[in-house]
Structure 1
Amino acid sequence: MSETTPVSGDQPRLSRGARFGSIGAIWLLSLVFAVIIASVSHVDQYATWLSLALAACVLGALVAQLATQQKDGFVDRLAASVTGAFIVLGVTGGILAIVAASQ
């Protein structure tokens, strides 16, 4: 039997590239949101838009991990996706707070 053929109901393992791609896509999405928020949003609205961006990243992470159709490691991949997005948007929030305080 080939490696991609399920044996006794088991699913083939998710490739390393697909695993990191599904996680990295959410990190990239959060970075795009951060750049858009920093460049377009008004200073008074930074926190609002950052929290909405995090919510969108959480939903995107759920979709990305469900799209892999792999139950093994789902929680770990979802946690890595959301944690990375949280860190990116958190650092952005810190920088934007300093920018807002200086104005």
Structure 2
Amino acid sequence: MAVPELAPRRTMGGIVAVWVVAAVIGIAVGLFAGDEWRAQWLAVGLGGCLVLAFAVQLWSGRSQGFTERVAASALGALVVMGVISLGFGLAAIVPG
């Protein structure tokens, strides 16, 4: 029989933390990687965000909704890095 938690921990903070790390990685890759290597480094950064999502959710110690929280972290990191990548791609196209 499972005992309900009296004061469950908040889980949104860990998810948003992975999104923030994804934004920092995306901006760093966009600024420091060359145009020909940017996609490869973004893939490596996304892999790092996936590992970070697992680590953060394992550290929280809650088993209920683990898969959903990891999926939300990873999907959010994918969207954040995709939007940042789109911005750098459009900036490369625009003459200036």
TM surpasses 0.5: yes
Letter in 2 for 1:10: V
Letter in 1 for 2:8: L
**What residue in structure 1 maps to residue 81 of structure 2?**
89
Runs (5+) with no aligned partner, structure 1 = 1-7
1:58-97 equivalences under 5 Å are 58-97=50-89
Letter in 1 for 2:53: A
Larger radius of gyration: 1
Return 36-45 or 53-62, whichever deviates more: 36-45
CA distance in 2 between counterparts of 1:49 and 1:102 reads 22
Letter in 2 for 1:80: A
Letter in 1 for 2:9: S
Over the aligned positions, Cα root-mean-square deviation in angstroms equals 1.8
**What residue in structure 1 maps to residue 9 of structure 2?**
15
**What residue in structure 2 maps to residue 100 of structure 1?**
92
Give TM-score scaled by structure 1 length: 0.81
CA distance in 2 between counterparts of 1:101 and 1:78 reads 34
Q: Percent identity?
A: 28
SS at 2:45 equivalent: helix
SS at 1:71 equivalent: coil
User: How many residue pairs get matched?
Assistant: 94
CA distance in 2 between counterparts of 1:81 and 1:40 reads 25
CA distance in 2 between counterparts of 1:51 and 1:11 reads 39
1:11 Cα deviation from its structure 2 partner: 6.1
Encode CA deviations 1:61-103: one digit per residue, 9 max, x unaligned: 0000111111101111111101110000111121222233347
Structure 1 residue 46 and structure 2 residue 38: aligned?
A: yes
Give TM-score scaled by structure 2 length: 0.86
CA distance in 2 between counterparts of 1:10 and 1:39 reads 49
Change (3 A) 1:11 1:56: farther
